[in-house]
Chain A
Amino acid sequence: MSTHPYLRAYMAGIVVPTLFLLVIFTFFWVMRFVYNVPVPIEHVLVFPMALVPNLWGVWNILYMRLSSRRRWPIGLHGAALVVLLSPIGYLLIGAQQYLIVPPALIALVFASLAVIYYLVWKYVVAFLNAFLGIS
């Protein structure tokens, strides 16, 4: 399997956030329509639905390029994506009162995301990459 390596890297990258979108959508849907939490669901879902999967795909292509030149741990590569995603996410949240993070919790959100991304990239994305013959 030696053709279209970028396409395979992109596809391996988008699997996890695309599948997990169902969980996110269900969570926010229940919050909005069952518990009547004022979450503007159509605004909230744009980021996890449109941007996150594509960035994961592109980030995996970047990993493929980097790891072909020198050894680079995929877990750390995934955790580094949080540095890029978090500011974009908060910019897009804008005035969504419900999701604005209190200053005291910013560090905790960032740390949690970094750990989750590290583990998911190290075990799931790495498995998909190996499965598709990327690494």
Chain B
Amino acid sequence: MNEHERERTIELLKGVIRPVEDGGLSGDLWPRMLRRMEEGPMRVPWFDWALAGLVVVLLLLFPGLIPRVLYHL
């Protein structure tokens, strides 16, 4: 590849590949971080605990369910 071909290749590449857009942050992330910290740990309602407990009890009472349930996960 001579000099002319090299320059031509560079020109073609510049024409095809778009310049990188500004990848900077769109805003300050710290306020969002503070809000997230103030929210505290996620609260799980009692109903969901009851459902989870029900499934555990079912699987303990009927171990034959375990492979059938795993198969669908």
Contacts and interface: CB of A to CB of B under 8 A. Distances in A.
Given A115-B55, A122-B48, A123-B42, A44 B65 contact: no
Given A85-B72, A123-B42, A116 B67 contact: no
Contacts, number: 66
A119 interface: yes
Given A20-B73, A24-B70, A112 B48 contact: no
A111 B68 CA distance: 12
A47 B69 contact: no
Interface of A: 17, 20, 23-24, 27-28, 31, 39, 44, 47-48, 52, 82, 85-86, 89, 93, 98-99, 101, 105, 108-109, 111-113, 115-116, 118-119, 122-123
Interface of B: 42, 44, 48, 51-52, 54-55, 58-59, 62, 64-65, 67-73
